[in-house]
Amino acid sequence: MSLHSLAEDPKKRRPPQDEIHRAGCKRTQWDNVPVSRCSEECPKGYRRFMKTGIHHCCFDCIQCSDGEISNMTDRGSCVKCAEDQWTKDNIQCVPKPTEFLSYKDDLISIVVSVISALFFVKTSVILSMFIVYRDTPVIKASNQNLSILLLVSIMLSFLCVPLFIGHPVHVTCMLRHTSYGIICSVAVSSILAKTLMVYSAFKATKPGTSWTKIVGLKITNSVVFFCSCIQVLIGLIWLTTSPPFPENNNNVDKIIIQCNEGSLLAFSILLGYMGLLAAVTFIVAFLARNLPDSFNETKHITFSMLVFCNVWIGFIPAYLSVTGKNTVLVEIFAIISSSIGILGCIFFPKCYIILMRPDLNVKNVILKLAH
């Protein structure tokens, strides 16, 4: 049969063997298409990678890189997904899930909120108790005004916890650290004023000392006002120059919605000032720890500042070693732990005397203990 007769019937025509050999791996119009003997068709999620030094139709199949897809077989290149998308098996671009500490998806958010609310109520009860028993010797010896200011500050610190939970927005990002920094500074400066008052009041019992003049000046209010104003000034400068703001941190498989501090220097100064106040208060309370029992509040203050300093010293490496919503959890645990430490060490012993040992809450007993 001649080639001319085969041309009249294309379905029956077959190319000669040497023509197939010359065509190599190239596709033809015949029903029995020659298949490459060196490469198979690349599946979805892969792309061709041409081999060098051999026939041009011989290639390897390489999986698409992270963030790229190939949704067709035998593709020569991969398509890059958008920044807010990630790849599913390198075949399809899907939206990245968002991550932030929320009440809906994180049980720990509900737990810390319940703990914060519980101790807020406990602090409110203690505050009410100090107002009701304000004329008793135990309350008078601890300076009622400073104690109430300290209790209010602790209550507000527990109320700061909800600012760290939920979808970050500009308002919550700006108020998170600045509000707690100011509230914490008021609390610690109140403790410092209580310590100075106790120490100076004991020294003033010795006639002819300069401590008599210091007690007369009523420096406690000045200490609280001056120390708190410095932290307020730091917060105002931070918010006016480089305020915190919400940002989306794109990772490979998720988008972390978080608050950017804006100025890391300002954030460090705010924490550093809190640490300085706590360190000064701890040193003064430690030096006054051996005063007579009627002025023995300095021992409780020493323990409270020891707890406070340990919590925030441990906060720094923990904060730097975690990412995403875990950083927010570290901050919340530090706030709750330090507030509970101050509340427990300073006020629980007084509540025990008021409620369980009223026989010790007598002026004659306290005067005997003073001697």
pLDDT in tens, 206-227: 555 555 555 544 677 888 899 9
Kindly report, residue by residue over 226-271, the tens digit of the pLDDT. 999 999 999 999 999 999 999 888 777 788 888 988 889 999 999 9
**Ranges for all domains in the chain classified under CATH 1.20.1070.10:** 107-370
Average pLDDT over residues 104-129: 93
pLDDT at 79: 81
In DSSP terms, 245 is beta-bridged to 260
Q: Is the pLDDT of residue 150 over 80?
A: yes
pLDDT at res. 149: 93
- Reported as a single tens digit per residue, the pLDDT across 270-290 is 999 999 999 999 888 888 776
pLDDT at residue 218, as a whole number: 65
70 within 8 A of 49, measured Cβ to Cβ: no
Which contacts qualify for 40-44: CB closer than 8 Å, 24 or more apart? 41/73, 41/74, 42/70, 42/73, 42/74, 42/75, 43/73, 44/70, 44/71, 44/72, 44/73, 44/90, 44/91
pLDDT confidence of residue 46: 77
Pairing of strands 98-99, 255-260: parallel
Q: What is the mean pLDDT of the chain?
A: 79
As a whole number of angstroms, the distance between CA 129 and CA 11 comes to 103
- Residue given tokens 């098996």 in the structure block: 89
More confident residue, 28 or 303: 303
User: 27 pLDDT exceeds 50?
Assistant: no
Residue-level pLDDT at 328: 92
Rounded to 10°, the helix 144-159/107-132 angle is 160
pLDDT confidence of residue 201: 63
94-117 average pLDDT score:
89
Q: Which pLDDT score is estimated for 13?
A: 46
| Tens digit of each residue's pLDDT (9 = 90 or more) over 31-88 | 454 555 566 777 777 777 776 655 666 777 877 877 787 777 767 778 888 777 877 7
Label residue 6 by pLDDT band (50, 70, 90): very low
Checking if the pLDDT of 24 tops 50, the result is: no
Question: What pLDDT is attached to residue 371?
Answer: 46
Q: What is the pLDDT of residue 277?
A: 92
Residues 152-167: tens digit of each pLDDT: 999 999 999 999 998 8
Domain 107-370 is of which CATH architecture? Up-down Bundle (1.20)
CB crowding 132-160: b at 16 or more within 10 Å, else e = ebeebbbbebbbbebbbbbbbbbbbbbeb
Question: What sign results for the dihedral spanned by CA atoms 314, 316, 322, 327?
Answer: positive
Query: Residue 115 pLDDT more than 90?
Result: yes
Kindly state the tokens that stand for 30.
């015949």
- Percent of the residues in the chain that have a pLDDT greater than 90, as a whole number: 32
pLDDT beyond 80 at 192 = yes
**Higher-pLDDT residue of 350, 40:** 350
- pTM for this one? 0.77
Instruction: Look at residue 301 in the predicted model and tell me its pLDDT.
Output: 87
Q: What CA–CA distance (Å, rounded) separates 59 from 75? A: 12
Cα separation, 54 vs 51, whole angstroms: 7
How many Cβ atoms from other residues are within 10 Å of residue 264's Cβ? 10
Quick one: fold of 19-95?
A: Tumor Necrosis Factor Receptor, subunit A; domain 2 (2.10.50)
Whole-number Å distance between alpha carbons of 75 and 91? 12
pLDDT at residue 319 in the model:
87
Q: What is the C-alpha to C-alpha distance for residues 345 and 301, in angstroms, rounded to an integer?
A: 7
Mean pLDDT of 342-367: 78
Parts of the chain belonging to CATH 2.10.50:
19-95
pLDDT tens digits, one per residue of 328-337: 999 999 999 9
pLDDT of residue 292: 60
